[in-house]
Amino acid sequence: MIDAIAGEIAAARDMLDAGCGNGAYLSKFVEARGERSVTGVDLTFDMLVSARNRAGAKCHLLCANVAGLPFKSGAFDFIFTSHVLQFVADVEGVVAEMARCLKVNGVLIATGQRDDGVRQTLAAILGDERWREYREVIFRRAERREADARPKDRYQQAFAKAGLRVEERIAPFTVTWAEIAEWIQIRWWPLIPEGERERADEMIGQLAKIGASRSVKQREPLIVGRRV
């Protein structure tokens, strides 16, 4: 992922990770060569604590909603948002808000698909029968709006509506079991009812034994928009 946007990272001086989560990408921005200011925002305090532990003190962290960013217009020349648009109701409004915070010639980069790819990976590891059981206990509560059937197209349209020049880029990356486990913990665990968590924990433990030695190559579409 980082290699696919290395040019934009190298050129950036004021960077924002909008919806930074646990800081997985934020830490990469902090570690990149060159002098820059790096800011992360997230709506969840626990995620910001994890981001601070991962990225260290060389970044600014704020608890904020991406639908109303607490920054002046034109504050950043690089804004990155990974698997955030998939979970907001007003995609056009959120993209417009991020575009507002871009400098002229600044770039907004967003992941361009839902998290279905990892679930497909798990289905391949488990087999159809066991996957149905896991889906029922852990993954059944996915919110899937009709508009998300082709999210990449919707995001591109939102970028264009916000006045950004749009391109698509493909970022190859490898997913390890540790990353899948972290994704389940962050994305899905809070949605599992208390009464089902003991069973879910057992299933995740079983999955860990199967998947611990595996890694899976995937391709992530990126939507890249530049303010002109």
Q: In terms of pLDDT, which residue wins out, 46 or 128?
A: 46
Q: Exposed, middle or buried, 53 (CB in 10 Å: 0-12/13-18/19+)?
A: exposed
pLDDT digits (tens, 9 = 90+) for 41-67: 999 898 899 999 999 999 999 999 999
Q: What is the pLDDT of residue 190?
A: 78
Q: Exposed, middle or buried, 73 (CB in 10 Å: 0-12/13-18/19+)?
A: exposed
pLDDT digits (tens, 9 = 90+) for 155-185: 999 999 999 999 999 887 777 777 777 777 7
Domains delineated in the chain:
3-227 (3.40.50.150)
Alpha-carbon span 158 to 95, nearest angstrom: 6
Which among 162, 171, 153, 154 has a CA at the least distance from the CA of 226? Answer: 162
Alpha-carbon span 195 to 5, nearest angstrom: 43
Enter the pTM of the model: 0.77
